[in-house]
């Protein structure tokens, strides 16, 4: 059995890119820590906004989703959309109790 080599291997990210993404993750983590000191409503809003952004950076750069084809990216998008729908349904259930 032979390997499919229909596309050239992806070039790895440069150290500058990795360092920039790492610095952005540190800044976002600092913002989340700072947000924990404000009112609970704004802390939750900050967590629900900044955490997916951090997860996206990790998925895209450190888990190499950047180099995957459209099929894999589409499958990840469908899985994340399903997750968002279920979390939204959970919040609706909690809101109307």
pLDDT for 8: 63
> Residue 72 — very low, low, confident or very high, per pLDDT cuts 50/70/90?
very high
Q: Terminal CA-to-CA distance of the chain, rounded, Å?
A: 58
What are the pLDDT digits (tens) for 18-71?
999 999 999 999 999 999 888 888 888 888 899 989 999 999 888 888 888 999
- What is the Cα Rg of the chain in Å? 18
Model confidence at 12: pLDDT above 60 = yes
Mean pLDDT of 63-88: 91
> Residue 10 — very low, low, confident or very high, per pLDDT cuts 50/70/90?
low
Contact 65, 76 (CB under 8 A): yes
């Amino acid at each position: 059995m032979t390997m499919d080599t229909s596309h050239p291997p992806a070039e790895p990210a440069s150290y500058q890119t990795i360092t920039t993404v790492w610095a952005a993750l540190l800044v976002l983590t600092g913002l989340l820590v700072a947000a924990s000191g404000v009112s609970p409503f704004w802390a939750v809003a900050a967590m629900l906004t900044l955490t997916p952004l951090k997860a996206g950076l990790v998925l895209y750069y450190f888990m190499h989703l950047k180099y995957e084809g459209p099929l894999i990216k589409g499958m990840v998008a469908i899985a994340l959309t399903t997750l968002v729908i279920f979390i939204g349904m959970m919040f609706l259930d909690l809101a109307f109790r």
